[in-house]
Structure 1
Amino acid sequence: MSRKNFIYILSVTVGLLTGIAAVTLKNITYTIQSLLEEGIVFSQNQLYFILPVIGLFLVFLFTKYMFSKELEPSIPPFIKRAIPSLLYSLLRQKGLLSYKLIYHPLITAPLTVGFGGSVGLLGPAITSGSALSSNLSRILHVDRKTRTLLIACATAAAVASMFKSPIAAIVLAVEIFSLDLTFASLLPLLIASISSVLTSYFFLGDELLFDFNVTDKFNPRDTAFYMILGLGTGIASIYFTKIYFAIYAFFDRFKTRFTKLLVGGLAIGIMLYFIPPLYGEGLSFTRDLFDGNYLHALGTNPFDKYTDNIWVVILLLIGFTIFKVIAMTTTFAAGGVGGVIVPTMVMGSALGNVIAKILNNVGLGHQVSEANFTLIGMAGLIAGVIHAPLTAIFLIAEITGGYILFLPLMITVAISYMITKTYMEHTIYTRELAERGDLLTHDRDQSVLTMMELDSVIETDFISVHPEMSLGDMVHNAVSKSKRNLFPVVDNAKRLVGIILLDDIRTIMFDQSLYDSTSAETFMHNPPEIINYEKDSMKVVMKKFQDSGAWNLPVIKEGCYYGFVSKSKLLTAYRIELINFTS
């Protein structure tokens, strides 16, 4: 079998397995929600706000006693979330994921979301599908590049299955994983998406995520209002990202996971008491807004007797918009398992509805479509929060059948994306990775440098000398025995104090009258630059060579001399990595 056909078969398999994982995830979650809604705790006694604490506690117990060891001990704790951990694994672990990640999210995510955690199911579906594809590729001994493609296929398959949106699924995989969109990568992504969508159709039928019918076509006179919506979603995206990291920073102060669980669970419960739609994913909230049933969307809350005033309704929707990201991040920080994209969509729908209601009630004499603004607000926030404008457009269009609104979608998404990208270079998926120098991007040069490892270009076969070593000793014990024309000068603590080039002693090294009267200290000088093993990324290393013009630079590790990097070896390694990356 040819390699190409082998990859196609693997793509079908990954799509099928990921589709089954996504369907399983949905069914378990909705079963838990159904049982709680029909039980006395939820529907009759209105005590739903205590459920997130119970759900988070069950996740805590399950993870502690069923997974006593960390799922991925080599992944830094602060990026142990679905997409960031996958991006890190692809770069630093060759895409090798623990087999436990296949079923861990299938249990913990339903417990989180089913009991009211304000997160989505897409992230866990991507994690489970990616772990399936990673372990399948490990069994079949495929190479790193193919494994990366298969994990991207699993991501596309998860999106396609959850949302029944195969085009958006492909675009998301390309935007998130920075794949080169060629026929070689496009076809496997397409095959996996089709396989996954068919699996979803087989088990769940042909219903769209939202039953949305465009009744109000785009009116060119509304263009300015859609630009306002883009401005609003852009600002909200910046707020979303800042709050996300601020809440995580707050929870990092707590020493134990149980303390985080207790504080987070109580905080979510309080928010649910005042804003009931924050319960769970929130998809029913968005469906109610599409139908114009905003009172049902807001649910029973302490402000029910004031909801006949539209401005009270607007304030409640603004409250939902503000607190959705807080509830979502608190769920994550307290130990819950879930995804970001669905909460982002729900928050965007509320924001779009709010802006439409304000425009319709401030006395402008012009009415805009609240349903259309609700829909397009979702796209604007997705584009701003995850910096994936094409994904936002195709995802919203596909899951709602709203292709008629392509132009206003593009207007709002473009403005939201430009605003957010201007003020925030990285997203909640990529900021921590970028700060560590562990982020792959569409910049090919940057990606190749990121994938390179410093250890692969360090050379240690240099003979070192001491500052007090005489010229005679240098000639007999270093120069005559070395194949190099460079000698590091180190003290007794192995700290680098200088370097000596062969050219520095070439004119006098045969003058025996100087053998005992001069020492290495006489000829040594400082290197033009020093490479810090712990801190310098390959991008920094390359820039140091570029700025200094040096052919060799010393490497310092833990304060001591470690070796040298030569420009020739660095460029050779870069070329090899570039060939592997682009082949």
Structure 2
Amino acid sequence: MLILRYKYISQRQFIYLLSILVGFLSGVGAVVLKNLTHFFQHLLEGKLVIDYHHAFYFLFPILGLTIVYLIIKYIIRNRVSHGIPSTLFAISKRKGIMKRYQMLASILTAPLTVGFGGSVGLEGPTVATGAAISSNISRLFHLNQTTRNLLIGCAAAGALSSIFKAPIAAIIFAIEVFSLDLTIASMLPLLLASLSAIITSYFFFGSDVLLPFKIEDAFKINDIPYFIILGLILGVVSIYFTEAYDRIQKLFDKIDSPIKRLLVGGIGLGILVFFIPPLYGEGFEVINNLLAGNAEEALKNNFMHLDLTNVWIVILLLFGLVFFKIIASALTFGAGGVGGIFAPTLFMGSVMGNCVAKIINITGISNVSESNFTLVGMAGLLAGVLHAPLTAIFLIAEVTGGYELFIPLMLTAAIAYSIAKYVHPYSVYAMELGRKGELITHDKDHAVLTLMDIDRVIENNFVAVYSDMNLEKMIKQAVVKSNRNIFPVISEKDEKLIGIILLDDLRPIMFDQTLYKTVFARDIMQNPPEIIVIGKDKMTDIMKKFKESNAWNLPVIKNGKYIGFISKSKLLTAYRNKLIEVTS
């Protein structure tokens, strides 16, 4: 098959064909994930909770997370990371290579997590499934790293296009979140993948959409001040979302036992869902009720049976949903659940937008459209939390046909994004990679440095000497045998780097035989201008050390032990080759 491909199909045509295939498979993955999740959710919530007892709301999340834990431990036998962060890690640090088990891992675990009440979404697992499939297809056909990354972006575009039936927003999502270059070479494969996925979605789901709502209330220019206020509020909520998620994850990281994490997270989630049933699952039913103006329907199962004819009580309960949704999502992840944060972000944004509109209307300040504010709220929080303002704007506009709301969508998304970006430089998806400097961004120089493999530029042909070697031994065992002009000095006991000796340091005394027995390596060695530490120094740090030290060779240590040198010339050659590969 490979021979036939090389004979009759050009590289560009082959990428187009693969992008169509990847889009189709991402669409099928979305169909399987959605159907399985809805099957579990309707079976459990529709039959057992409504017909038997409300207490099942407490039991289901614990049961679902336990089943997920058993599947991961005994069937998958590998860690199942969160969807989009794991995909970003594969692009940044694994050259776009994802393991085969990742093609099925999310399909086996995400529907159980969400269907049994986990307060997360399916978008991340769908992207991860499509990305893993595209990565392994790329490996099957021996495609290079740049093409692998492009097809992973195609999988992401296909996944979102299939889920939301928003092909343009899906393409923008792939470009914004995965930092793909916006060129003709990348645009057409993304377009083909998105188109293939949405056709697949229409084939299986027909015209059904997650948010079946069309704009009815026209945008009024007088509402601009209120949309500005909404943008400011959503910027603050974005910061709360990121902080709460990050801190809860760090607390769970301190718990060594996965069983303890399961119990703590599962019981905590069960308590929240028991008292606040709208937190069960993805939450799109709540969003649709708010868009339809049925806030009372969305809150009808409140545990205190409060009077929902009182608007202030409705507002208070909606604020509670905003506050507790991210806590429920973080508990789901902490307990070992598999899902994404895309749906929780839309949930919180819609509820917050609806709250603001209700407050404006009830106080008599103005009369604004609650459905419009609900829509714009989703876009604003999506822009703030995911750092993807264009995706947020086009997604809401495409899904709801809300192109009339472009001005408030752009205004709110820009304000929320700016505030969130100022406080948190990286999105929730990219936070961990960003802190380590391992995130691929649109900064081409930084992207190339991130993709470079440090192990490939380390040179090992430097002859080391021990600190207690005399001059005679150094000449016979090092100088004569080496074709380099630097000699690392290491301790004989643990091979730790102590210093370096330059050939220029030896040249004035190397022919004076009276010094052969009296001069030792420790007497003439010097400290290296800089030391490169494997595991600590990123490629950007290494470049900075060469620039500041003005050195041509720097020693490399790992766990304190000397392992070799990196030369500036080899580093720059490797950078040039990677740049050509990335931009080809």
Q: TM-score, normalised by structure 1?
A: 0.95
Structure 2 distance, partners of 1:16, 1:398, is: 20
Structure 1 distance, partners of 2:264, 2:512, is: 77
1:47 Cα deviation from its structure 2 partner = 3.2
Matched, 1:82 2:91: no
Match of 2:63 among 48, 54, 62: 54
5 Å matches for 1:549-564? 549-564=550-565
Is the contact made by 1:37 and 1:43 (CA closer than 8 Å) also made in structure 2?
no
Q: Secondary structure at the match of 1:481?
A: coil
Q: Counterpart in 1 of 2:5? A: none
1:389 Cα deviation from its structure 2 partner = 0.6
Q: Counterpart in 2 of 1:393? A: 393
Taking every aligned residue pair, what percent have the same amino acid on both sides?
A: 53
Match of 2:42 among 34, 39, 46: 34
Structure 2 distance, partners of 1:453, 1:138, is: 19
Q: Counterpart in 1 of 2:6? A: none
1:44 Cα deviation from its structure 2 partner = 4.4
Q: Counterpart in 2 of 1:490? A: 490
Q: TM-score, normalised by structure 2?
A: 0.95
Structure 2 distance, partners of 1:529, 1:132, is: 43
Is the contact made by 2:72 and 2:79 (CA closer than 8 Å) also made in structure 1?
no
1:437 Cα deviation from its structure 2 partner = 3.2
Match of 2:11 among 3, 19, 25: 3
Q: Which amino acid aligns with 1:7?
A: I
Please, which moves more after superposition, 285-294 or 472-481? 472-481
Structure 2 distance, partners of 1:260, 1:568, is: 49
Matched, 1:327 2:335: no
Structure 2 distance, partners of 1:255, 1:491, is: 37
Q: Secondary structure at the match of 1:499?
A: strand
Structure 1 distance, partners of 2:566, 2:346, is: 48
Q: 1:511 to 1:170 in 2, by over 3 A?
A: same
Is the contact made by 2:54 and 2:274 (CA closer than 8 Å) also made in structure 1?
no
Q: Secondary structure at the match of 2:466?
A: coil
Structure 1 distance, partners of 2:496, 2:305, is: 72
Structure 1 distance, partners of 2:519, 2:259, is: 66
Q: Counterpart in 2 of 1:271? A: 272
Q: Counterpart in 2 of 1:285? A: 286
Q: Counterpart in 2 of 1:420? A: 420
Q: Counterpart in 1 of 2:500? A: 499
Q: Which amino acid aligns with 2:223?
A: D
Is the contact made by 1:324 and 1:347 (CA closer than 8 Å) also made in structure 2?
yes
Structure 2 distance, partners of 1:412, 1:57, is: 40
Q: 1:466 to 1:99 in 2, by over 3 A?
A: closer
Structure 2 distance, partners of 1:419, 1:472, is: 66
1:19 Cα deviation from its structure 2 partner = 0.7
Structure 1 distance, partners of 2:476, 2:269, is: 74
Q: Secondary structure at the match of 1:440?
A: coil
Q: Counterpart in 2 of 1:314? A: 315
1:543 Cα deviation from its structure 2 partner = 0.6
Q: Which amino acid aligns with 1:234?
A: G
Q: Which amino acid aligns with 1:360?
A: N
Q: Which amino acid aligns with 1:413?
A: A
What CA deviation, in whole Å up to 9, does each residue of 1:74-117 have, x standing for no partner? xxxxxx21111111122332322232222232232111111221
What CA deviation, in whole Å up to 9, does each residue of 1:432-452 have, x standing for no partner? 112333211111111111111
Q: Which amino acid aligns with 1:449?
A: L
1:167 Cα deviation from its structure 2 partner = 0.6
1:65 Cα deviation from its structure 2 partner = 2.7
Structure 2 distance, partners of 1:294, 1:383, is: 24
Please, which moves more after superposition, 348-357 or 201-210? 201-210
Structure 1 distance, partners of 2:126, 2:11, is: 28
What CA deviation, in whole Å up to 9, does each residue of 1:188-230 have, x standing for no partner? 0100000000000011012332122222222111111111111
Is the contact made by 2:95 and 2:451 (CA closer than 8 Å) also made in structure 1?
no
Q: 1:539 to 1:272 in 2, by over 3 A?
A: same
Q: Counterpart in 2 of 1:410? A: 410
Q: Which amino acid aligns with 1:272?
A: V
What CA deviation, in whole Å up to 9, does each residue of 1:172-192 have, x standing for no partner? 111111111111111101000
5 Å matches for 1:320-399? 320-364=321-365, 366-399=366-399
Q: Secondary structure at the match of 1:39?
A: helix
1:547 Cα deviation from its structure 2 partner = 0.6
1:260 Cα deviation from its structure 2 partner = 2.2
Q: Secondary structure at the match of 1:304?
A: coil
Please, which moves more after superposition, 103-112 or 340-349? 103-112
**Consecutive unaligned residues in structure 1, runs of 5 or more:** 73-79
Q: Secondary structure at the match of 2:548?
A: helix
1:539 Cα deviation from its structure 2 partner = 1.0
Is the contact made by 1:156 and 1:172 (CA closer than 8 Å) also made in structure 2?
yes
Is the contact made by 1:212 and 1:402 (CA closer than 8 Å) also made in structure 2?
no
Q: Secondary structure at the match of 2:191?
A: helix
1:302 Cα deviation from its structure 2 partner = 2.8
Q: Counterpart in 2 of 1:76? A: none
Structure 2 distance, partners of 1:560, 1:397, is: 57
1:51 Cα deviation from its structure 2 partner = 1.7
Is the contact made by 2:61 and 2:116 (CA closer than 8 Å) also made in structure 1?
yes
Root-mean-square deviation (CA, aligned residues, Å) is 1.7
Is the contact made by 1:376 and 1:409 (CA closer than 8 Å) also made in structure 2?
yes
Please, which moves more after superposition, 201-210 or 536-545? 201-210
Structure 2 distance, partners of 1:354, 1:164, is: 27
1:71 Cα deviation from its structure 2 partner = 4.8
Is the contact made by 2:82 and 2:125 (CA closer than 8 Å) also made in structure 1?
no
What CA deviation, in whole Å up to 9, does each residue of 1:468-516 have, x standing for no partner? 4333433333223221111122232222222121222333433344444
Please, which moves more after superposition, 538-547 or 517-526? 517-526
Structure 2 distance, partners of 1:98, 1:400, is: 37
Is the contact made by 1:71 and 1:100 (CA closer than 8 Å) also made in structure 2?
no
Q: Which amino acid aligns with 1:62?
A: I
Structure 2 distance, partners of 1:507, 1:335, is: 65
Q: Counterpart in 2 of 1:231? A: 232
Match of 1:24 among 20, 28, 32: 32
Q: 1:463 to 1:318 in 2, by over 3 A?
A: same
Q: Counterpart in 2 of 1:65? A: 74
Q: Which amino acid aligns with 2:545?
A: K
1:288 Cα deviation from its structure 2 partner = 0.6
What CA deviation, in whole Å up to 9, does each residue of 1:279-325 have, x standing for no partner? 11110101111111110011221333432221111110000010111
Is the contact made by 1:18 and 1:154 (CA closer than 8 Å) also made in structure 2?
yes
Q: Secondary structure at the match of 1:306?
A: coil
